[in-house]
Amino acid sequence: MERWSRAAPAIDPRTVHLACEAVMPDWLPYGVYRPWARLRHFQWLRRQMRRMSPLLVHDCGSRPWLRQWLARSAGRQRRELHVILLDVGADEALAGQRARGRWAPPRVFARHRRGLDRLLAAFPAPDVPCSGAAVSPVPASMAEAASIVLLDQVSRPHVAAARFDRWS
């Protein structure tokens, strides 16, 4: 997301989490003010969605309602929702979190992982032909997306940036 954010603003819930954490007393656990942080994140996302420009939204995939809301909001502006799924495996994801100084409690990480697993289960297996098409159709469980790009451990290093030609 960080290197792609040169192409468009990036909305990351971690940014809101850190901003809320900065104004809360040290003794107050995040779980107490999480609803407020989520509300702030949603307000920020809503404000950014009103702008007629591309937007990168970081989401763990465990909340389908958010993806559906993003698609409806984009559709009202005659825009499309394009999804990029990053599946690098739990070990690499945890190593990446450590490298970026991030940390998710095991219970939260497991919930996020289950959400991603549900999304990935909708795709055909890599060895299953796609009925002669060069591109697979968007799975029904993600019908709100105009397109989906799945990046795995092999393909991810080859994608250096996002580009939005329509706004260039």
Q: CA 16, CA 6: separation in Å to the nearest integer?
A: 20
SS3 4: helix
The residue written with tokens 């900065």 in the block is 22
Look at the chain and count its residues: 168
Asked whether 86 and 58 are in contact (CB, 8 A), the reply is no
Name which of 110, 108, 103, 109 is nearest 21 in CA terms.
Answer: 103
Residues paired with 82 in a beta bridge: 147
Task: Retrieve residue 93's tokens.
Answer: 């994801």
What does the pLDDT look like over 128-145, one tens digit per residue? Answer: 555 555 566 777 777 888
Name which of 145, 148, 166 is nearest 75 in CA terms.
Answer: 145
pTM flag (> 0.85):
no
Using pLDDT thresholds of 50, 70 and 90, give the confidence band for residue 28: very high
Q: CA 38, CA 15: separation in Å to the nearest integer?
A: 11
Name, of 6-10, 16-20, 80-84, 129-133, the range with top average pLDDT. 16-20
Asked whether 149 and 138 are in contact (CB, 8 A), the reply is no
